[in-house]
Structure 1
Amino acid sequence: MKIALKTQFSQHLALTPQLQRSIELLQISSAELEEELAKADEENPLLEYAPPDQHKEDGDLSGKAEVMQANWASSTPSSRDDDEDWDTRHEQQAQTTSLLNYLEEQIQSLRLDPAKKGFIFYLAGCLDDRGYLLESLDDLAIEIHQSLQLTPAAALLQLQEGLTQLQQLDPAGVGARSLSECLSLQIQRRMTTDLEHKNCLELAFLLAQNHLTKIAQKDWGKLRQLFKQSESAILEAVAIIKSLQHNPGLRFDTNVEQWVTPDVVVKLNTKGKWVVHSNQAFKPRLTLNQEYSRILKENNSKKSNSALHQKMLEARWLIKNIEQREETILKVAQAIVERQQNFFHQGNIAMKPMVLR
């Protein structure tokens, strides 16, 4: 074996942590950048962050896919106490998950054998966005019995048991096959906790099962005769029904809108040329906290401010990198638009290939 020394030349790129972070900021989207800046604002007292103004149009789900078109007046605040309790418990889940995912989490926690859970999972997947089961159990049994090697009757029995379990999950009223059943399920759930209004709830249950049309028509005289109750008792029961959810599944976020925030905007100028501008409306405003900056200047030599001084350096570095990110994106966009002028005028047929060299 011969041992010798030799010199070898090579090139490699050494990226400092700051440079790596700068590249990461350049690659992320505007929405992700907002999250990063909000996090930095929480961790660094030297930063002051003002999120960009975003005017998003709120979706209106009211009146969507109504099962029964009834002109009911809005319920009184006192009649909606229990419904507000549901809001408190489930509002966060409803805003961040779909109805199906929310049900699947509950089904998974049930102490049942996997086969029985399977039927409940299947039924949950058959619900529409409102939380209703529109297909009949008989049709579903015929559809699945062969794949499960069961008779239609056996499959139907399993589905019936599964539906009973499904209707006991939150939100109350889920798995109903009609508006009447949806309201009845919610009233039954309330009966187990609101013993003080037992008689009123029982009357509301009977009204919801068979007399929704008369309620919609406000035929209080007929209802008084049928139930031998005073008009005030009828109206109190009706107030409970009004407080219930007609479409329990619509509280859940089944179609999350993905908002795209453009970094640049391309416009046609007066000379007929497409030009690029930074999207100032969505530009994050990141500045240094003036009070902390003043303290650091006045006490620059004190060791007690070393941690604060480090935060100042981090804040300045972040602000500088955000500015560089904007400049880089703008330059790249300008180069693309300059090369693709014909595309913006004529469409896809005039697009030029772009190769990274």
Structure 2
Amino acid sequence: MKPGLSLRVSQHLSLTPQLQQSIQLLQLSTLELAQEVEQMLGDNPFLEREGDEAEGAESAAGGAIETGAGSAELSSNSSISKAEAGSDQALAAPEWEAAAEPAVTGAAESLSWEGEDQGAAGGEESWEGLGASDWSAGGSGKGQDGDDGVDAIDLARSGESLTEHLHRQALSLRLDELDRAALRFLIENLNDDGYLEDSLPELAQGLAGEDFEALEELVHRFTVALGLLQSLEPVGVGARNMAECLRLQLRERLAQGERDGLDEEAQQLLRLALLLCDQPMELIARRDLRKLVSLCGEREEKLRLALALIARLEPCPGRRFADVQRQIVVPDVIVRPVRSQAGRMEFQAQLNPEVMPRLRVHDVYASALRGHRGSQGHAALQQRLQEARWFIKNIQQRFDTILRVSQAIVERQKNFFVHGELAMRPLVLRDIADELGLHESTISRVTTAKYMATPQGTFELKYFFGSGLGTETGGNASSTAVRALIRQFVAAENPKKPLSDNQLADMLKEQGIECARRTVAKYREQLKIAPTTLRKAL
């Protein structure tokens, strides 16, 4: 084959480093952006926060280099301009306290601990299958029905975690060194809900290794410590499974009732609830009264009362120790109502200045670089200076895009801010993309992990997008509005005769919305509403 030369013309898209950084910054959440800014501030000497230039001047050449008055900055109105130094509003990442790890030797006689009492905050999870409407945080036991009860937000603000709460109670127990160390070890191995997930032999195996005698001794120590742990507050802590957690709470109620002279009928009901907890949990979750009657040998009416009693218990003892403060969402955009010149109520979207980093190019180092042209490292330093300028520009572009998209959403969903989710209109990413001249992928990045504070609450930007369902008039109804209607229908239903998915579909049809039963079931599951059988009152 004879070699030859040919000319070909083609088009292709090349992602420059600046464009890649712009895309990356656009999809970051607020916390991730703050971390990225901190990393860039540590890596690039030409980048500084507004207000840090005085400190930089003292550290550069003993202050011998005089700087100009202007420098590039990112101000709260998202504009790059030349301005004097302002206040330092740094986005500092939260400081997490590290928990001290316990040091435990292999044998029981050398069981010892080092470090201070610290633990992780508990999380909140629900018992799936039993119906959210049946569970209440104010279950039985100490600290729930009496004056000892503590609100979850108050607990979160106090900063006390479940492990710290238990360690504080353990200090009041008169134990020898080994038993205290064993109890402390079990407390540290609880999960966020207050359950002991690993068995006692497994925990002992990790400490004793192949030493069989030490293993037996540790299992004995842990068995004693488990009884002490399960006697602490909140009642149910230290349980190995759901059934044991419920039994601990019922036994506490029964013991309290015997001390307080509870009538015999109420005590019998508690004993029946204990008997129910010995049965498979699947039967209780499904409320399978027919099988429970045959297993327990009791009448259906009494079983209904016992199931209702179990439903009022707390399946997650560590629930009220959840760190609510760390779940607070900081909005990127704030929507405020304003009066137009015509007197009409309008809504305006503004960027939240608290989440916007105030950055600028370091004037001292930039001036020093201009005064040393021709040096060996000049090209590399010029590149770092350009990176700092591009970083500031990309952050400005990120917030400008978020604001543009937010304003377009506010304009499309005006009725939502006045009347709530029932007035939500159908909206897809393509609608906003066509209006702003952007790609759908850009709108998707902007609306992910970005939040908007509105008069109706704080929502992720993706919340305002939803498909449309056909109506009898030929229009469309937003899926968000349909879900809101389903929630209203269920909230107003008769607890003894809950609405089925077919009935909900018929009720939506009466409202002029064509919605199939399968679609109703999907929306109901998205709303975390239990099926008809689990919503039925006992």
Identify the TM-score tier after normalising by the shorter chain. Answer: 0.5 to 0.7
The alpha carbon displacement at 1:346 in A equals 6.4
Q: In the aligned structure 2, how far is the partner of 1:81 from the partner of 1:150? A: 40
1:89 pairs with one of 137, 141, 149: 149
1:205 pairs with one of 274, 294, 302: 274
2:123 is the counterpart of 1:75: no
The alpha carbon displacement at 1:122 in A equals 0.2
The alpha carbon displacement at 1:144 in A equals 1.4
1:159 pairs with one of 191, 213, 222: 222
Q: Which residue of 2 aligns with 1:122?
A: 185
The alpha carbon displacement at 1:341 in A equals 3.2
Q: 1:97 to 1:253 in 2, by over 3 A?
A: farther
Where 1:246 maps in the other structure, the secondary structure is: coil
- Residues 285-296 of structure 1 mapped to structure 2, 5 A cutoff: none
Q: Which residue of 2 aligns with 1:230?
A: 299
2:167 is the counterpart of 1:108: no
The alpha carbon displacement at 1:132 in A equals 0.9
Q: Structure 1 regions of 5+ residues with no counterpart?
A: 1-25, 32-59, 263-277, 283-329, 348-357
User: Is the contact made by 2:156 and 2:323 (CA closer than 8 Å) also made in structure 1?
Assistant: no
The alpha carbon displacement at 1:193 in A equals 1.3
Q: 1:179 to 1:80 in 2, by over 3 A?
A: closer
The alpha carbon displacement at 1:88 in A equals 5.2
Where 1:85 maps in the other structure, the secondary structure is: coil
Q: 1:146 to 1:73 in 2, by over 3 A?
A: closer
Q: Which AA in structure 2 matches 1:90?
A: V
The alpha carbon displacement at 1:255 in A equals 7.6
Question: Bigger CA drift: 338-347 or 200-209?
Answer: 338-347
- Residues 1-357 of structure 1 mapped to structure 2, 5 A cutoff: 61=124, 63=126, 66=127, 69-72=128-131, 74-75=133-134, 84-85=144-145, 89-91=149-151, 92-93=154-155, 96-145=159-208, 151-195=214-258, 196=262, 197-254=266-323, 256-257=325-326, 333=358, 336=361, 340-345=388-393
Coordinate RMSD, CA, aligned = 4.3
User: Is the contact made by 1:97 and 1:252 (CA closer than 8 Å) also made in structure 2?
Assistant: yes
* CA deviation vs aligned residue, 1:195-232 (integer Å, no higher than 9, x gap): 42211111101111224222222221332233332222
The alpha carbon displacement at 1:120 in A equals 0.4
Q: Which structure exhibits the higher relative contact order, with contacts defined as CA atoms closer than 8 Å and separated by 6 or more residues?
A: 1
User: Is the contact made by 1:174 and 1:249 (CA closer than 8 Å) also made in structure 2?
Assistant: yes
Q: 1:138 to 1:84 in 2, by over 3 A?
A: closer
Q: In the aligned structure 2, how far is the partner of 1:170 from the partner of 1:111? A: 17
* CA deviation vs aligned residue, 1:299-336 (integer Å, no higher than 9, x gap): xxxxxxxxxxxxxxxxxxxxxxxxxxxxxxx9xx5755
Q: In the aligned structure 2, how far is the partner of 1:239 from the partner of 1:176? A: 21
Q: Which residue of 2 aligns with 1:13?
A: none
Q: In the aligned structure 2, how far is the partner of 1:189 from the partner of 1:183? A: 10
Q: Which AA in structure 2 matches 1:85?
A: D
Q: Which residue of 1 aligns with 2:419?
A: none
Q: In the aligned structure 1, how far is the partner of 2:301 from the partner of 2:90? A: 59
Q: Which residue of 2 aligns with 1:17?
A: none
Q: 1:335 to 1:228 in 2, by over 3 A?
A: closer
Where 1:171 maps in the other structure, the secondary structure is: coil
The count of residues paired between Structure 1 and Structure 2 equals 230
Q: Which AA in structure 1 matches 2:389?
A: Q
Q: Structure 2 regions of 5+ residues with no counterpart?
A: 1-86, 93-122, 332-349, 367-387, 396-538
Q: 1:107 to 1:243 in 2, by over 3 A?
A: same
User: Is the contact made by 1:130 and 1:247 (CA closer than 8 Å) also made in structure 2?
Assistant: yes
Q: Which AA in structure 1 matches 2:133?
A: S
Q: Which residue of 1 aligns with 2:110?
A: none
Q: Which residue of 1 aligns with 2:527?
A: none
User: Is the contact made by 2:124 and 2:192 (CA closer than 8 Å) also made in structure 1?
Assistant: no
Q: 1:243 to 1:29 in 2, by over 3 A?
A: farther
Where 1:194 maps in the other structure, the secondary structure is: helix
TM-score by length of 1: 0.53
Q: Which AA in structure 2 matches 1:154?
A: E
Where 1:90 maps in the other structure, the secondary structure is: coil
Q: Which AA in structure 2 matches 1:163?
A: L
Q: 1:80 to 1:114 in 2, by over 3 A?
A: closer
Q: Which residue of 1 aligns with 2:440?
A: none
TM-score by length of 2: 0.37
Q: 1:120 to 1:80 in 2, by over 3 A?
A: closer
Q: Which AA in structure 2 matches 1:202?
A: R
- More helix, by proportion: 1
Q: Which residue of 2 aligns with 1:288?
A: none
Where 1:164 maps in the other structure, the secondary structure is: helix
* CA deviation vs aligned residue, 1:69-122 (integer Å, no higher than 9, x gap): 324473398x95768416952334465321111111111221111211100000
> What is the identity percentage for the equivalent residue pairs of Structure 1 and Structure 2?
29
Q: Which AA in structure 1 matches 2:167?
A: E
Q: Which AA in structure 1 matches 2:390?
A: N
